[in-house]
Amino acid sequence: MKILLTHVDYIEYEAKKKAIEAAENIEHEKERVEECLVAFCSSEEGDDESVIQKTADEISKVARQVNTKTVVVYPFVHLTSKPAKPQAALDTVKKIEEILKKDYETHRAPFGWYKSFELKSKGHPLSELSREIVPGKQAEIKKVQQKIGKPTLRSEAQVEEYSEHDHRRIGKDLELFMFHETAPGIPYWLPNGLIVLNKLIDFWREEHAKRGYKEIAAPLVNKSDLWVTSGHWDHYKENMFIADMGDNEIYGVKAMNCPNAMIVFGSKTRSYKDLPLRLSDTDVLHRYELSGTLSGLLRVRAFRQDDSHNFITEDQIEDEYERILEIVELFYGIFGMSYKFRLGTRPDSFMGDIETWNKAEASLRKILDAKVGSGKYLVAEKDGAFYGPKIDILMNDALGREWQMGTIQLDFQIPKKFNLKYVDSSGEERTPVVIHRVIYGALERFIGILLENCKGNLPLWLSPVQVKVLTLTDRNIDAAEKIHKQLLKNGIRSELDSRNNTIQYKIRDGELCKIPYLLVIGDKEEESNTLAVRPRGAKPQFGVNPEEFLAKLLKDIEAKK
């Protein structure tokens, strides 16, 4: 939970338009409250009862300090990058409101609406305070900021915008991706960026093929009947793009891959000898995220997941999780990126019976205890998927904000909904268990975090341009072209810069583009058949043998350096 507390002379707000389908019904569209403390509240994934009580306590504490008996609870999703699901967020603010009503005149702004608001802050030392309340047995309160006349949102946005780590700035400078107002939250991949995206997918395909995964592709649009069967129509419809084509034909744009994987599994008779059956895909998914939560590549409305649905027997659960966690170590280890695990348990709105849920949660706790040790992973109560508990992979961006990347979800429920069966060794029909798993997570988010962690200095194997050949003078163009073509012939992504600019200008331009290797070809290099090599971030090397340089490049690319 994140809150921004503002002591005001007045606040006036007006509900304009429903932002989500689940928006609550309202009696008054417009309200003005004077001499009050406004608590802007962003409920987050994993918030529990301890957070609710501590949030109410903190609001009450500040209300006493500023000597007001009137409080406005204002749902405000824009404070967080990991908002709770709408129903959970609404339940949370309602409970906070009820606690505060015992001691204060309490108002609550309508939930799920686009609202205009106007307020006048009092401007004293306690008039603007920010807090983060972290869930747990003893909810922890962090003082995020205490400043006058400089709202948290503005300062954080400035930090993001101008930080050298900011993936949006890096993406623009390196011409990796862009956005346009006609497709909010949906990136355009430019040629350089598409190379990065495709290389990540190529690596994913190679490593998963070695491990027996079978890739599929499925429709991006399905009739609502599919989503009703899977349970997503009841539990996730408000986050989907829906198309009503008339004549009782309603379609949902694919927001997740699992229902179509169930269709593929059920398309033929399966035997226990076919299991584990690992059906992977990287189809584009679309989710209607609230506009205020969109953040570059880190939260988008269209994305690719390195997805797989692994159909197994119950006695294969632990072994399959171990295999998946080995893939996690491989993928994240290559980039030197640190991560942590989080267990998500049964949510309030769940599908299936509690006994099956308890068994699934116990299995995941046992796996995590063995992998990282008891108490060495996070637990987010009520944060599981509606069909099963999950293990999330968490990473931080350059601002220290936590993002979910990969996820490994254990599902006993959806296979039952689709009546999936396999024939066991005794000839009896059994229902398979499914592990829903992604390693990168959303590839868009993974690339955003990767760019922020390396400041755009992508490893050689991922760099859109791996080598740039620079001419010292026009006399050296032919020799430079020969080297450039030789690099291309060997699969190196090379560019030639033979512009009529100074060599200092060309070098600076190459450095700004964060190219791993710049090769300068002048008269000396041409005469001696050598290279002047400028590795990114290192001292220049002169008299380098071209064959040896090429061999090193190929070796480093093969090793994913």
Question: Which residues are the active-site residues?
Answer: 258, 287, 305, 307, 309, 390, 436
Let me know: does 107 contact 3? Beta carbons within 8 Å.
no
Nearest one of 346, 335, 465 to 405, comparing CA atoms: 335
Q: 450: which residues sit within 8 A by CB, 6+ positions away?
A: 335, 337, 458
Q: Would you state the structure tokens that stand for residue 302, as one six-digit string? A: 């269209």
Listing DSSP states for 310-337 in one string gives EEE-GGGHHHHHHHHHHHHHHHHHHTT-
248-273: burial string, b at 16+ Cβ within 10 Å, e else: eebbbbbbbbbbbbbbbbeeeebebe
* C-alpha angle 414-415-419 in degrees, rounded to nearest 5: 115
Asked whether 72 and 7 are in contact (CB, 8 A), the reply is no
Give the integer Cα–Cα distance in Å for 340 and 20. 32
The number of residues making up the chain comes to: 561
Beta carbons of 1 and 45 less than 8 angstroms apart = no
Is the Cβ–Cβ distance between 178 and 190 less than 8 Å?
A: yes
Strands 105-108 and 70-75: parallel
